[in-house]
Amino acid sequence: MTLHDWIDELCDALDIEAEVDEGLILDLARDAAHSVERPAAPITTYLLGYAAALHGADPERLEELAGRASALAESWGGSSGDDDFEVAEDGDEVEIDEELVDID
């Protein structure tokens, strides 16, 4: 089962028809989880959906609302507990501590 299959099945179960921009939703969830705290991710995406429904949001308005929520999360400055780890960007050299690597 793929994510698209899950979305289709979930829409059927909720008796709704919806086009879902899963990239937008997942990006917002990531921003909330990393900048606020992990439990903020599902709450943030729920509230985005609620706001979109209240405003009768078209895809452009949904993107605007998600951008506002993402900017707020990024400015929040919270911590998900992942601050001890650095994420390598594409092209960055990754340093490996040879003492910690067990090749066997």
Report if pTM > 0.75.
Answer: no
pLDDT computed for residue 11 by the predictor: 95
Is the pLDDT score of 101 beyond 60?
no
To 10 degrees, the CA torsion angle through 62, 44, 28, 36? 150
To 10 degrees, the CA torsion angle through 50, 26, 67, 45? 20
Given pLDDT bands bounded at 50, 70 and 90, which one contains residue 77?
A: confident
pLDDT digit string (tens) for 22-43? 999 999 999 999 999 999 999 9
pLDDT computed for residue 93 by the predictor: 61
* Nearest CA among 79, 76, 47 for reference residue 62: 47
Sort residue 94 into left (φ over 0), alpha (ψ -120 to 50) or beta.
beta
Rounded to whole angstroms, how far apart are CA atoms 2 and 7?
A: 9
